[in-house]
C-alpha cells in the first residue's frame, strides 16, 4: 500500500512540475505613442491596413490591473506582415505584437471537439 501511495505521489509531483514548466507568463514592454504617430508608422512604413477591430483588455505587469482598450489588427496582405495595436481612451496606442507570414485561415474548426 505504501508503494502505491508513494508512486502516486511521484506521478502527481511530476505532473505538477510539467504543468509549471509548460505554462507561460510574459512580462513585456510595449512601445506606445500617440495614436496618430503609431498608426501612421504602421500604415506608411509597413503599408499595413486595418483588417478588423475589437474591444479587449490587457493586464498591466506593473500593477496587475486590467485595462480596457480598442484593438486593431493591421495587415499587409502582399508582404504578410501584421501588427496588433491597443488603442486607449487617452489617445495612446501600444504595439502588442507584430509578425510575418499572415495568411487567412482556410481550415475548419470542430466545435464539438473542445475538450
Within a domain: 22: no
Report the pLDDT value the prediction gives residue 115, as an integer from 0 to 100.
58
Within a domain: 43: yes
Q: How many domains does the chain have?
A: 1
Q: Which domain holds residue 46?
A: 32-99
Within a domain: 92: yes
Within a domain: 3: no
Q: What is the pLDDT of residues 51-82, one digit of tens each?
A: 999 999 988 888 889 999 999 999 999 999 99
| Coil, strand or helix at 88 | coil
- The residue among 93 and 109 whose pLDDT is bigger is 93
Strand ranges for 1-115 from DSSP E: 32-34, 49-59, 66-75, 82-87, 92-99
Within a domain: 114: no
Within a domain: 107: no
Question: What's the pTM value of the predicted model, to 2 decimals?
Answer: 0.69
Within a domain: 26: no
Q: What is the pLDDT of residues 1-54, one digit of tens each?
A: 445 444 444 455 555 555 556 777 777 788 999 999 998 989 899 999 999 999
Within a domain: 40: yes
Amino acid at each position: 500500500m505504501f508503494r502505491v501511495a508513494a508512486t502516486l505521489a511521484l506521478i502527481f509531483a511530476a505532473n505538477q512540475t510539467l504543468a509549471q514548466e509548460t505554462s507561460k507568463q510574459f512580462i513585456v514592454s510595449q512601445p506606445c505613442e500617440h495614436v496618430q504617430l503609431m498608426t501612421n508608422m504602421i500604415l506608411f512604413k509597413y503599408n499595413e491596413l486595418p483588417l478588423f477591430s475589437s474591444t479587449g483588455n490587457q493586464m498591466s505587469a506593473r500593477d496587475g490591473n486590467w485595462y480596457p482598450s480598442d484593438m486593431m489588427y493591421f495587415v499587409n496582405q502582399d508582404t504578410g506582415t501584421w501588427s496588433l495595436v491597443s488603442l486607449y481612451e487617452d489617445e495612446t496606442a501600444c504595439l502588442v505584437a507584430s509578425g510575418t507570414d499572415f495568411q487567412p485561415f482556410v481550415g475548419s474548426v470542430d466545435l464539438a471537439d473542445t475538450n
